[in-house]
Amino acid sequence: MILTKGIGFQYNSQTQFQFPNLQCESNQALLITGASGKGKTTLLHVLGGLLKPTSGEIYINNVNICQLSSTKLDHFRGQNIGLILQKSHFIAALTVLENIELASWLTDKTKKKEKAKELLSLLGLDKCASQLPQNLSVGQQQRVSIARALINEPKLLLADEPTSSLDNENAKIVGDLLAGLAQKYNAALVIVTHDQRLKERFKSTIEL
């Protein structure tokens, strides 16, 4: 589902990264680990098309996203890639349900209300639908981010440090949820983390 070849990225002459080749199929999970400063988040942003690599190729669902224009890449990302970032970036004035609906509307101009409700129910957030995101706990906000990432049933799910601010119980819940949801929606799952708890949960690992 995702395959990379010779990916490199350069912020400036002093900060350059050359990443190992990656491959992750549907229903599989891949953990990317490494110490701070090794480029984990940079790699995730490159894989998600948020940053353009300075070299190499990225194939997602057999499409080389490095060859897409900005407009086509935005559309492709909305249809094929689910992003769970360290900062949730919710729209503060919108409810939890509306934030999730917005992700579907931005992709194909339709609000998938019933799908959003189904995801919230699956994630144990039924009673949170009408609340504002800032009124939720950190763990609940993380699950809302997962629901938003899944609303368009992406082929690839990318998660950046999804458990870094969670206690042991919620870290296990989120790890199990990500694995289960990737299987349910037939998606490849790539997680960037330094969390030892996830290293114990997912065995397929690449260290930067």
Domain-wise residue ranges, the chain? 2-207
Residue 138 has pLDDT above 90, yes or no: no
Rounded percentage of the chain residues whose pLDDT exceeds 90? 64
What pTM was estimated for this model as a whole?
0.88
User: Residue 180 and residue 140: Cα distance in Å, rounded?
Assistant: 18
pLDDT at 62: 93
Q: How confident is the model at residue 113 (pLDDT cuts 50, 70, 90)?
A: very high
Pick the CATH number of 2-207 from 3.40.50.300, 3.40.30.10, 3.40.140.10, 2.30.29.30: 3.40.50.300
pLDDT in tens, 55-72: 999 999 999 999 999 999
Which is more confidently placed, 46 or 109?
A: 46
The beta strands (E) that lie in the chain are given as 2-10, 16-18, 23-24, 29-33, 55-60, 63-64, 81-84, 156-160, 188-192, 205-207
**Distance, CA of 50 to chain centre:** 12
Determine the Cα angle at 129 with ends 123 and 135, to 5°.
Answer: 95
- Unique residue bearing structure tokens 């395959």: 3
**pLDDT of res. 184:** 86
